[in-house]
Amino acid sequence: MQQFRFGKHAPKHDYRTLLLKKYLTAAMPAPPASHDVLSIVYNKLKVSDPTKLFPMDGNDTLGDCTIAALAHAITVYNGLVGKKKIFEKQNVIKLYKHLTGGIDSGLNELDVLNYWQSKEVDGDKIFAYAKIDAKNHIHVKQAIQLFGGIYLGFQVQENCIEDFNARKIWTKAPLTNEGHAVYVVGYDKTGVTILTWGNTQKATWGWWDECVDEAYAILPPEAKKSDFTPGFDFNQLKNDLNEVAN
């Protein structure tokens, strides 16, 4: 059985972090019953093998899941506009070691997002990110539909790796002391679809409510050119970004 690593630290809290709920107005339509970001990416790129588009990125031997999830987000964002872009493994590890100071210590998601907002990663610098209330499934679904996914952190449940290897859906189970970062690319009535460890993984909504401890909507560079109306107050978000910067 193949072994994998975790590496996400406990959630870090910063009062300056933007909250997604502030920008979702009453004009925002209800999310559809299901949404599959990967099907759009596959159609645009004419590639439908997740093991080729979203590789392991060293997360079988290093606790670099926070950077692997970032790399998968980059591939998704570019894939949605028809560009095939895969962050090379050696560059994932290089960035990971840069942020950890050269040791294999794992990272905090908020630190990774702050770095990505201030510095280009593989040619991409995100415009903004906003924290999602993970208990609000409507907001979770809207974020996946609007922004092409969610940068997610969860407390690892027992048999997480065993179930992944057996291609079994993740369900609610006793929690361990480990944390893991992944990228979420879809949902339906049964749960969510996740990118991790070089493949996709399904998880139930029960798992989500038990395990998820942080979730972020990421606005990619293209966000400045996008039209999120009706329903998303992008002007207010820009104003808040300026206020935080000052």
Within-domain flag for 104: yes
Within-domain flag for 9: no
Longest dimension (CA), the chain: 51
**DSSP conformation class of 199:** E
The structural domain count of the chain equals: 1
Within-domain flag for 2: no
Within-domain flag for 98: yes
What's residue 124's pLDDT? 84
Q: How many CB atoms lie within 10 A of CB 234?
A: 17
Within-domain flag for 11: no
Nearest to 66 by CA among 54, 57, 75: 57
Q: How many CB atoms lie within 10 A of CB 194?
A: 27
Within-domain flag for 186: yes
150 within 8 A of 217, measured Cβ to Cβ = yes
Please state, for a pLDDT cut of 70, what percent of the chain lies above it.
96
Residue 244's contacts (CB-CB under 8 Å, 6 or more residues apart) are 16, 18
CATH number at residue 208: 3.90.70.10
pLDDT tens for 91-143 read 999 999 999 999 999 999 999 999 999 999 988 889 999 999 999 999 999 99
Query: Can you tell me which residue has the tokens 């090379």?
Result: 88
How big is the chain by its Cα radius of gyration, in Å?
Answer: 17
Angle in degrees, CA 71, 173, 176, rounded to 5: 65
68 within 8 A of 7, measured Cβ to Cβ = no
pLDDT tens for 10-23 read 999 999 999 999 99
Within-domain flag for 59: yes
Residue-range definition of the domain harbouring residue 241: 27-245
